[in-house]
Amino acid sequence: MRSLLETEENLGKYLVIDTDSGEYEMDTDRAEAVLRLSRHHNPAHS
């Protein structure tokens, strides 16, 4: 996974991983990444 995600464009971004599903989100804003990931499982947070 590191070789796919550790790219120049992703430097400085937070990686948030759902360990149950394996889904992930990346963003420079940690809260935004968490929010987007939570929307995968609970569309009511949209």
How many beta carbons lie within 10 A of that of residue 43, not counting itself? 8
CA nearest neighbour of 22 among 32, 34, 37, 42: 37
Q: In this predicted structure, what is the pLDDT of residue 41?
A: 77
Q: In this predicted structure, what is the pLDDT of residue 19?
A: 94
d(CA 23, CA 39): 11
Every domain of the chain and the residues it spans: 2-45
- Residue pair 15/30 in contact (Cβ under 8 Å)? The answer is no
Q: In this predicted structure, what is the pLDDT of residue 38?
A: 94
Full pLDDT tens readout for the chain, 46 residues: 889 899 999 999 999 999 999 999 999 999 999 999 999 877 665 5
Torsion (CA) 11, 17, 22, 23 in degrees, nearest 10: -80
